[in-house]
Structure 1
Amino acid sequence: MSEVSSATADTSVADKGFWPNGWWKVLNYKIGVVPLPLFVLTAVLIYGLVSTKGGLKPDITSMVAMFAFFGFACGEIGKRIPYLGKMGAAAICATFIPSAMVYYNILPAELTDATTKFYKSTNILYLYICCIIVGSIMSMDRKTLIQGFLRIFVPMASSAVCAMLVGTLVGMAVGKSAFDAFFFTVLPCMAGGVGEGAIPLSIGFSEILKQDQGAMFGKIIPMVMMANVIAIFTAGALNQLGKKRPELTGEGSLFKGADNDIGSLSSEGSGKVDITSLGGAVLMAVLMYLIGVVGQRLISLPAPVGMLFVAVAVKLFQVSSPELNDGMRTVYKFFQTSVTYPILFAVGVAITPFDELIAAFSVTNVIIIFATVMTAVSVGFFVSKKIGMNPVDAAIISCTQCGQGGTGDVAILSAANRMMLMPFAQIATRIGGAINVTLSLMILAKFFHA
């Protein structure tokens, strides 16, 4: 009996020692999703690779480690900023701290070059976007999907029209012409980002106005970035409003009283995750994007928009099996929690020029853009409330109308803790932006040819 008691006591003492329980507690302390010891080890290894012969190569294994280290480090800084940390500062810091590090030569040139080369050669953002979009759609209840895709157009269209009108009037009030205020300040905010918004807009301006496209793009891009920053902080503020006034939000559900919504277990799912279905789910998401690419080549429809339509059709007609739906939901959650900040770091280094961001911070532009974003959000909030939607969640969708394309959607929804709204954000950003750009260029062309 005494031997048993002694053995138990020895085991109890061992359990209280540092190894292994104490070590496991250290591993449970995380920076983002990375355990602290692994985070430190990552920093040491990155330094070792940069310092030794051969340097850091832009291969996927090295880039995964580097993106995770810097992305979660910058996100953690943002989270710890008093007050602003709860309003989306993490997403902003994950993008703009790296951009500033590049601009001020704080980030070693070798890391900058490797990140840029990897990002531009792989287009890894599109893998992230397709897994987020397809995954979130496959996680939706079909009834909610149908209702959402039909009803989101009402607050979206109202927000766009009112925001453009108010933004133009405010621009005139602060000394700009109606033409300059609308086409070069307000419209870029609502154009759908860079690739599908600012670039085609600059091409249209150069052809219609007979000016250099580079000059037009340089004039447009700061407005897109400034609107994106304001939209991110606004989305964070809306998230806080939802916590204080829970009756105004569905925490990711667009409709009041919805039993199943995005992010919850879809009624078409089996409730169990088969590990072997994860590979098929990722491939399904990629194939949907490739269908979008083919559609872009045939009918000039942006690939992410085409992918969105395909994913919706697959869900509506129940083409995907419950097992694939469950696998896609798991893939979606992984990308949402573990890939967002690393991707934002890469975006900040590779395609976010810090000097152009600073150029947007003129007092006049800030006033106009702030009025535009606030009008879009306010109208979206009150219109959605009138038609029975959760106003906070619908207003967050209105925020994405002023975002920087797919990248902006990621940052805005991350700041609002509403990544499950990605399909509706894609409608507002890409389809809404395409409509805004197309109609505005048609009006501009008719005006100058008249």
Structure 2
Amino acid sequence: MGKKNQEMASVKEPTSKKTIKKFFGLPIWIVVVLIGIVLTATYTGALSKDLSGAFALMFAIGVVFNEIGDRIPIWNTYIGGGIVLAFLGTAALAYFNVLPTEYVELINWANGEVDFLTFFIVILITGSVLGLERKLLLKSIAGYVPAILGGVAGAGLLGIGVGLLFGVSPADTMIQYVLPVMGGGNGAGAVPLSQIYETVTGNPAADYYAFAIAILTIANIFAIISGGLLNALGNKRKGLTGDKKTLMRNASEIATEEETTEVTMKDYGGAMMLSLTFYALGLLFSKVLLPEIFGVAIHQFAYMIIFVAAANALGLIPTYVRKAAQTLQKFFTKNMILIIMVGVGADTDLGELMAAITIPNVVMAMFIVIGAILGSAIVGYLVGFYPIDSAVTAGLCMANRGGSGDLAVLGASGRMDLISYAQLSSRLGGGMVLIIGSLIFGALL
């Protein structure tokens, strides 16, 4: 009888306990108290204008929008959920002056003094590249350039086709729409393209830039939303995507199983030091030793990816450090992405976006993004990639606003582990578009 009572008690015990619903890992009452404290400090001006104050405010904003976005039907499945709402919600808070101006400037990665965005990308690049098995790394990078070019070709073809419907010539479509969208972002794309435009035509670079950045901003929104839609498609059609960490369809056949390694706390410190040193090496080459190749400026992130990939391929990095770098990357991906999305939102001018919203601009930007998706997916499939993962990285991460746009697209698509490929699109891919742009400007203007 005693044994029977014990068995009944063991069965009923779990149902008698209330499951505590957590918000960002914490009970809701604690989250509410924490957010209340941070907002009170913000609106009284007591919150410090340094990294600690920025992080506190960005978590307070990001957690609220993230939890709401993850619970809105349709939005949470097809648009990107809380990650995308954190981005757009923060942009709205800044535009309607809900947040004090000095704190909007503080959390704006582009204009503020707190450049956490670069640090975030450095950690993610190192962890994602070192997380790839050597053979898989070499094979995937070899096929990636064709996938990028496929995205550019698809964007150009579809953009020209739609442009003709609105009476825009193929030359103007390529110069004013396709090149700015596919140029790798703002600083690496729209700005140098406007300088090339000024050199070739003699007209002010600002004339070209004003329109280019508007079209790029519209395309960036479509790229982020498309990331969420592709993620939903991949969840339903498993054959179109892999584990969201690799591009290669036959990754399991190429990769070899590695030995399990115990990682200590000091290994994480070594992994962080390794990440920052690779970034310093990239800066050394991009600023001093070899800033240009065949007249094209090479970004420090592009150099960094090359050096991390080479070190991984040559087996120079101990297994335990590689594992530590991967764990660091996962921590940042899971916990710090909200910080990034809030910063990206603060950098988005909704007024500028709304001013550029006309039917021709919106439709053409949308179809350029669709063309980038189709072109990169088709060519990616032909070189052995999963079409959705190829479309996200080689397509959408070309058709956005560079580094911050990459993170927004990868966050919406749930593929943050593919950051190294995304950066190759923005940096090396953007460089290829500048070469194409130089040729087009010279031939058509």
**Superposition TM-score tier, normalisation by shorter sequence:** 0.7 to 0.9
The structural deviation recorded for 1:93 is 1.8
Contact 1:144/1:260 (<8 A) preserved: no
Q: Distance in 2 between matches of 1:202 and 1:261?
A: 43
The structural deviation recorded for 1:94 is 1.8
Q: 1:73 aligns with which of 39, 64, 75?
A: 64
Contact 1:71/1:343 (<8 A) preserved: no
Matched with 1:153 is 145
> 3-state SS of the aligned residue for 1:259?
helix
Alignment RMSD (CA, Å): 2.7
Matched with 1:259 is 252
Q: 1:334 aligns with which of 331, 335, 345?
A: 331
Contact 1:140/1:260 (<8 A) preserved: no
Moved more, 418-427 or 107-116: 107-116
Moved over 6 A (4+): none
Matched with 1:214 is 206
The structural deviation recorded for 1:369 is 1.5
Q: 1:62 aligns with which of 46, 53, 63?
A: 53
Letter in 1 for 2:284: V
The superposition leaves residues 58-88 of structure 1 with CA deviations (integer Å, 9 ceiling, x where unpaired) of 1222222111111222222322232122221
| TM-score, reference length from structure 2 | 0.88
Written as runs of structure 1 = structure 2, the 5 A alignment for 1:48-447 is: 48-52=40-44, 55-87=46-78, 88-116=80-108, 120-252=112-244, 253-259=246-252, 267=257, 270-298=260-288, 299=291, 300-349=297-346, 351-397=347-393, 398-445=395-442, 447=444
The superposition leaves residues 200-238 of structure 1 with CA deviations (integer Å, 9 ceiling, x where unpaired) of 122222333333333332211121121121122222222
Matched with 1:4 is none
Q: Distance in 2 between matches of 1:102 and 1:231?
A: 22
The structural deviation recorded for 1:332 is 0.2
Cα 1:251–1:117 change in 2 (3 A) is closer
The superposition leaves residues 314-342 of structure 1 with CA deviations (integer Å, 9 ceiling, x where unpaired) of 11112211111111011100110011111
Letter in 2 for 1:277: D
The superposition leaves residues 389-414 of structure 1 with CA deviations (integer Å, 9 ceiling, x where unpaired) of 32222222222221221111111111
Moved more, 277-286 or 291-300: 291-300
The superposition leaves residues 276-303 of structure 1 with CA deviations (integer Å, 9 ceiling, x where unpaired) of 1111111211111111112221214211
> 3-state SS of the aligned residue for 2:113?
helix
Cα 1:86–1:271 change in 2 (3 A) is farther
The superposition leaves residues 333-383 of structure 1 with CA deviations (integer Å, 9 ceiling, x where unpaired) of 01100111111101221x221112223421101211122111221222233
Contact 1:184/1:219 (<8 A) preserved: yes
Cα 1:409–1:51 change in 2 (3 A) is closer
Letter in 2 for 1:329: Q
Moved more, 439-448 or 237-246: 439-448
Q: Distance in 2 between matches of 1:192 and 1:437?
A: 9
> 3-state SS of the aligned residue for 2:242?
coil
Matched with 2:3 is none
Contact 2:109/2:115 (<8 A) preserved: no
Written as runs of structure 1 = structure 2, the 5 A alignment for 1:7-18 is: none
Contact 2:154/2:375 (<8 A) preserved: yes
Find out whether 1:29 has 2:9 as its counterpart. Answer: no
Q: Distance in 2 between matches of 1:152 and 1:183?
A: 25
> 3-state SS of the aligned residue for 1:121?
coil
The structural deviation recorded for 1:435 is 0.6
Cα 1:446–1:374 change in 2 (3 A) is closer
The structural deviation recorded for 1:159 is 2.1
Q: Distance in 1 between matches of 2:77 and 2:279?
A: 33
Q: Distance in 2 between matches of 1:209 and 1:35?
A: 60
Contact 1:193/1:405 (<8 A) preserved: yes
Cα 1:277–1:146 change in 2 (3 A) is same
Letter in 2 for 1:321: P
Q: Distance in 1 between matches of 2:28 and 2:40?
A: 18
Q: Distance in 2 between matches of 1:191 and 1:344?
A: 22
Letter in 2 for 1:195: G
Cα 1:78–1:119 change in 2 (3 A) is farther
Contact 2:286/2:303 (<8 A) preserved: yes
Q: Distance in 2 between matches of 1:55 and 1:269?
A: 51
Matched with 1:3 is none
Contact 1:116/1:346 (<8 A) preserved: yes
The structural deviation recorded for 1:268 is 5.2
The structural deviation recorded for 1:35 is 4.5
Q: Distance in 2 between matches of 1:51 and 1:158?
A: 49
Unmatched segments (≥5 aa) in structure 2: 1-5, 292-296
Unmatched segments (≥5 aa) in structure 1: 1-7
Q: Distance in 2 between matches of 1:327 and 1:283?
A: 11
Contact 1:242/1:248 (<8 A) preserved: yes
> 3-state SS of the aligned residue for 1:331?
helix
